[in-house]
Each structure stands twice: as C-alpha cells, then as structure tokens.
A and B are shown apart, each in its own frame.
Chain A
Amino acid sequence: MGLIINKYCSITPHKVCVDGLKIFDINDQQSLEKSLVQTYRNLELEYPKFFKMDNLSKLAILASECLLKNTELYKIADKGNVALVLSNASSSLVTDSNYHLTIDDPKNYFPSPSLFVYTLPNITIGEICIKHKIYGENIFFVSEHPDASALYVYVNELFERTNTEYCIAGWVECNVNTYEAFLLLVGKGSNGDTFDVKTIDNLYNTK
C-alpha cells in the first residue's frame, strides 16, 4: 500500500477550490484582509480567534478548514498521528515589517507583543494544531518556490519512520501583494491520486 492524496485545496484572493473544483469566487477588488474575512464567512466558520491572527495565520486556518471539513479526520478529537508539513517563500515577512513599524520611531517606540508573536512562520502550524487538536510531527520549511521533490522525500520518510497516519502538507504564502495556500491531505491507501512529485506539481499547476 502506497501513499495517496486523499484531498487537496487551494485558496487565492480570487477563489477557493477543493479537489480542483471551485467552491466559490472571492471578490478580488478588496484588500487581502477583507478577502480572507469573506472566505471565513463563506466557509461558515465560527472562530473568533481568527480575527486576532495575522493574514498568514488566517490563510492557514482557512486552508486547513477547507481541507479537513467533511473528512473522517475532522471529528477525531485527538489527532496524535496527523503530521503537518508547511512551507512558504516569505516566512512571516509582512508581519515582520508591521512589527518593525512599532519600533522604528524613537519618539513612538511601543513594541507590540501581539504583532511580535506572529513574526514566526511556524505560528501557522500552532494555530492549525490548536484549531484541530493535531499533535503529530510538524515542521516549517522556507523555499523560494514550492519544492515538490523536497516535500515528497520528507513526507514519505515521515510515513516510513514515524507514527504518521495522515499528513497535511503544502504551501501557505502571504506577501504584501497576494496570498496563496495549497494544501494536500496525504494518507495510506490505494484509491486516489498517487502521492508523487509529478502529481503534486500537476495539481499545483492546475489549481
């Protein structure tokens, strides 16, 4: 039995897709922040903490919700065997810059703890784990472009050598101009798209 892609989803400022099918359009003539809130409302999420997050974590929460909703995993209270492998290009750069604005001016120097805490890309992993009670292996990679082969090797080894039964893997990128999430739910099985480099690239490029 090999590894398969049970489900995948993508979110951009224009649309939200699940398994390659558009589930709704997003008005792209609004700020990134507002389009994330629109997606939150469309997904009928009730999670007030969402509004305290930076855009990158908001995006990660929305993508994890799209991916896990209506799956058998969603209802499991303690997800000890679910791994989380996320990556992006900009780390937490947008929030880093916003935080820096609170310390630039010596006359108006008030470093903000609620911004500082989001100046780490792996806070996205923390937010997803809190929301879905995920306790499995987790790591955050930074690469210039989505790197399907590095991801493939790493996720394969996770299944081979750890307690991992499912892995949420993919890309959550947010910069000043746009954002993009692309998440896969990888599991053991034989019915579904095979988890390999070519399929990951294909799904990403046709999302």
Chain B
Amino acid sequence: MKVVYNITDNIISSLGFTTDENMASISQGRSGIELHTDEFCIPEYFQASLVAHEKLDDYFRRFADVSRYTFFERMIILSVYEAASRTNVDLSSPETLFIISTTKGNVYLLDPEHTHEFDIERVNLWSSANEIASFFKNQNTPVVVSQACISGVSAILAAKMYLESGEYKHVVVTGGDMLSKFIVSGFQSFKALSPHRCKPFDALRDGLSLGEGAATIILGIDNEDYLPSDSISIKAGATSNDANHISGPSRTGEGLYRAIMNTMKGDDASGLAFINAHGTATVYNDEMEAIALSRAGLEHVPVTSLKGYIGHTLGAAGLIETIISSHSLLNGQLINCLGFTSLGVSKNIQVITEPRRFEADECLKMVSGFGGCNAVVLLKKYS
C-alpha cells in the first residue's frame, strides 16, 4: 500500500529556527511567550510568542536579499530552505507542488505605516505565494489554503490528496503567519487574549496567547515496505464544520467529533500514544475539545497542547504542532502541557503533566478555528 510520509521538516518560532532547536527548547520546558507593552502601536499590552526578527534576517541574508521579501515571506522561505537543505528532493521539479497555509499573509501592508514598503498587490495571498514558489524556481501554481486556525492541518490533508492522485511526487507543505496590529487588535476586540501566559485546559485559563512562526513539511509517497526507517506517515485525516456559529465553538463539539470519527474510521484507540489538541486556553475552545474527545470515547488517551510553549501561531499552528507531534512519536516521549495545573473542563480527559515514555506508534493532531471549522490528522510511525 502506498503511504504519504514526512521526508523532512522545519519549524521557525520564538524557540528556534530548526525542528531540533524547537524540540530541545520544549523538552527543557521553555516558553517563548513574553509580555509586550509597546509593540505594533497597540494601546493595550499583550502576551505573545514573537520570532527574533534580526536573528532571522541574519540567517536570511546568507542566501537571499532581505529587502525583496516581507517578513512573512522571509520566515517561510527560510523554513523551506532549511528543510530542503537536508534532502535531495528537487523543489524546482514539475513533479513538486507547493502548498502554502496562512490566515493573513501580508495583511500588515494595509497599515498606512507599512503600505509603501511593497507593491500593494503583495497583500494578495496568491501573489505572496508566487514569490515563495518562484524563489525555489518551482513552476507550478502554488496552492494556497486559507482556513483560519485549521489551515495548516487542512494543507497537510490537501497535500495527501494531491500525492495520492498521482499528479505529484513531492509536496512542500509550508506556511505561517506574522503578528501585526491587525491580528493582535482583532483578538483583543474578541476579548480572547489572556493577560498571562496561556493555561490550556486549566481551571484558571482565561484566554489565549498569540504566536508567530512558519513551518515546512516535505511530503513524499511510497510503498509502505520501502519507507526509510523511522518515518512518520500521514495515515488519515478529516475536516468537518460545526454548522453552528461563526466564532463560538460548538457546545457539543459536533464538527470536531465528526472529524475525529471520520479520521479513525472505526479503528479503536489502542494504537494512540497521545492526542495533540488545539488547546488554545480559551474557556470555550478547551471545553469543546474535551466534549468531542469524550463523545469519541478518547477520554483515556493522554492529551497535550503546545500553546503554552509557542502560543497560537494561527496559519502555522497546524504545521508546527503536527511536526512536533511527529518528533514526539519518533522519540517516544510525551510532551507535558505547559501552563496546565488542574483540570478545568467538564470531562475527565488525561492532560499530560510530566514527560514520560510511551510505546504506541500513532497519535492524533486536532485543530479548530473561526468559521466553526475543525480538522484532525492521524500520524503513524513506521520503525
């Protein structure tokens, strides 16, 4: 049977510019979320996980012209460049497709402070995506997935479809989001931001912490008998809408529950080592996830959220968190849910409080977002 598998990956976040740097920081319990009192000309302070701009540009300058690309594009290009440096996949091949996941791309260019910096056409997601694909001399029209906070997982599932169709040999799934006045003020208007570092699933949780970043997964397709050892495959996945409200999570977890059931397709949960939840630490999101897990009969599976380490990285979240989950599967170590102390949801889910070993070889990654959207992906380790 042919399976879609992860050839290599990269994460750019406040915790580092490679997957290894991010994994190391997480295993040390580091959080990149900090208080920002005078950022983006926003009157109210906020907590967020920001990428080190100058350090990123120092790296970027080694292989490209900083002035030609927006910060959003620089994060993504560096991410793809770093990932590609560890494989011989030909990114310029007609058999390689770029899929780019983002919620807001270069929306900061609408700010009168920044409008003059680039041709305003670059605010279009397709235009920015063309710049990124062209940088790697890829001739195919890049596919852009923009689906709020599920964009990253949606993009991975779309990549799986395009690979299974036989049209492409490799898909570079990349994406990201940069924080700006636009995004931070919007979440503040929703009263969605916590004054503290976020506390996923905790009794005292009071909102999310935003983050920025980019990530890349280069996917290939091959017969499962020929996979390189220690490969992670994208075994299954599904999306479903709550069909309930455009901003409030469903009280019954309807869409997420259906996405889980369509992903598991009747498989029992015995192969699941853990579930990497969305866990934004808003009151309603975490409760909704707990309800969906309970309805799906998964209350007993260890669950974690990575938001306490890197914040909610929006269009990058599904990618970054799928990559971290993959590496967690490979190294056999559960990641504790940073910021969590005592259970604050109505179902008795098993939130991970300390890193410990496990044996199973599958995990679920879940995401949910504005518009009532939900997506789930099932990852499997091949030893």
Residues of B within 8 A of A112 (CB): 189
> Are A138 and B240 in contact (CB-based, < 8 A)?
yes
- A194 CB to closest chain B CB (Å) equals 18
B152 interface contact, C-beta 8 A: no
Is there a chain A Cβ closer than 8 Å to B164's Cβ? yes
Q: CA of A136 to CA of B240 in the docked complex: distance in angstroms? A: 5
Q: Is the CB of A156 within 8 A of B165?
A: yes
- Interface residue? A121 (CB, 8 A): yes
Question: When the two chains form the complex, which single residue of B157, B161, B165, B371 contacts A126, counting CB atoms closer than 8 Å?
Answer: B371
Q: Judge whether A120 and B189 touch: CB under 8 Å.
A: no
Q: Which residues of A contact B373 (CB under 8 A)?
A: 122, 125-126, 138
Neighbouring A residues of B369 by C-beta, 8 Å = 122
Question: Which listed segment binds B: A37-45, A65-73, A89-97?
Answer: A89-97
Chain B residues with CB under 8 Å of A188's CB are: none
Give chain B interface residues in 93-150, CB to chain A under 8 Å.
103-105, 107, 110-112, 123-127, 129-130, 141, 143-148
B185 proximity list for chain A (CB < 8 A): 103, 109, 111
User: Nearest Cβ in chain B — how far from A31, in angstroms?
Assistant: 22
Q: Mark A131-172, 1 if CB is under 8 A from B, else 0.
A: 011111111111110010010011011101111000000000
Check if A99 is an interface residue, CB within 8 A of chain B. yes
CA distance A103 to B127 in the complex (A): 25
Given contacts A103-B181, A143-B126, 20 further A-B contacts (CB under 8 A): A84-B241, A91-B124, A109-B185, A112-B189, A116-B190, A119-B107, A120-B146, A122-B146, A122-B147, A123-B371, A126-B242, A126-B373, A130-B243, A136-B240, A137-B238, A140-B147, A142-B129, A153-B165, A157-B161, A158-B161
Q: Contact at B186–A116, with CB atoms within 8 Å? A: yes
Residues of A at the B interface (CB closer than 8 Å) are 80, 84, 89-91, 93, 96-97, 99-100, 103-104, 106, 109, 111-113, 116-117, 119-123, 125-127, 129-130, 132-144, 147, 150, 153-154, 156-158, 160-163
Known: A99-B182, A99-B186, A111-B186. A143 touches B240 (CB 8 A): no
B186 close to A163 (CB less than 8 A):
no
Residue pair B371, A93 in contact (C-beta under 8 Å)? no
Which residues on the A side are within 8 Å of B112 (C-beta)? 104
Smallest CB–CB gap between A107 and chain B, Å? Answer: 11
Contacting pair B145 A135 (CB below 8 A): no
B247→A142 contact, CB < 8 A: no
Beyond A113-B190, A138-B239, A139-B145, whether A89 also contacts B126 by CB under 8 A is yes
Stretch from B199-207, B226-234, B254-262, B305-313 contacting the other chain? B254-262
Chain B, residue nearest A144 (CB): B126
Contact indicator A93/B123 (Cβ below 8 Å): yes
Give the CA-CA distance A158 to B126 in the complex, in Å.
23
The CA of A100 and the CA of B125, in the complex, are separated in Å by 17
Main secondary structure on A side of the interface with B? mixed
Chain A residue contacts of B59, Cβ below 8 A: none
> When chains A and B are docked, how far (Å) is the Cα of A139 from the Cα of B240?
9
Residues on the B chain within 8 Å of A133, using CB: 243
Q: A90 to B141: give the CA distance in the assembly, Å.
A: 16
- Chain A residues contacting B266 (CB-CB under 8 Å) are none
- A-B contacts counted at CB < 8 A amount to 159
In the complex, B1 has a CB within 8 A of chain A: no
Q: In the bound complex, what is the Cα–Cα distance between A154 and B241 (angstroms)?
A: 18
12 inter-chain pairs at a CB distance below 8 angstroms, sorted by A residue, are: A91-B105, A91-B124, A93-B124, A117-B246, A119-B107, A123-B371, A126-B246, A126-B373, A138-B241, A142-B145, A143-B144, A158-B161
B30 — which chain A residues lie within 8 A by C-beta?
A: none
Question: Is B124 a contact partner of A89 (Cβ separation < 8 A)?
Answer: yes
Question: Looking across the interface, which residue of chain B has its beta carbon closest to that of A112?
Answer: B189
Q: Is there contact, CB below 8 Å, between B189 and A130?
A: no
Residues in A whose Cβ lies below 8 Å from that of B141: 143-144, 147, 150
Given the interface contacts A125-B241, A126-B241, does A135 sit within 8 Å of B258 by beta carbon?
A: yes
B124 adjacent to A119 (CB under 8 Å): no
Identity of the chain A residue whose Cβ is nearest the Cβ of B265 in the assembled complex: A163
B245 within 8 A of A: yes
Residues in A whose Cβ lies below 8 Å from that of B143: 141, 143, 150
Q: Taking the nearest CB of chain B, how far is it from the CB of A113, in angstroms?
A: 4
Which residues does chain A contribute within 8 Å of B238, judged by CB atoms? 137, 162
A94 to chain B: closest CB distance in Å? 11
CA distance A130 to B127 in the complex (A): 31
* A123-B371, A141-B143 given; A154·B158 CB < 8 A: yes
Binary A-proximity of B358-383 (CB < 8 A = 1, otherwise 0):
00000000000111110000000000
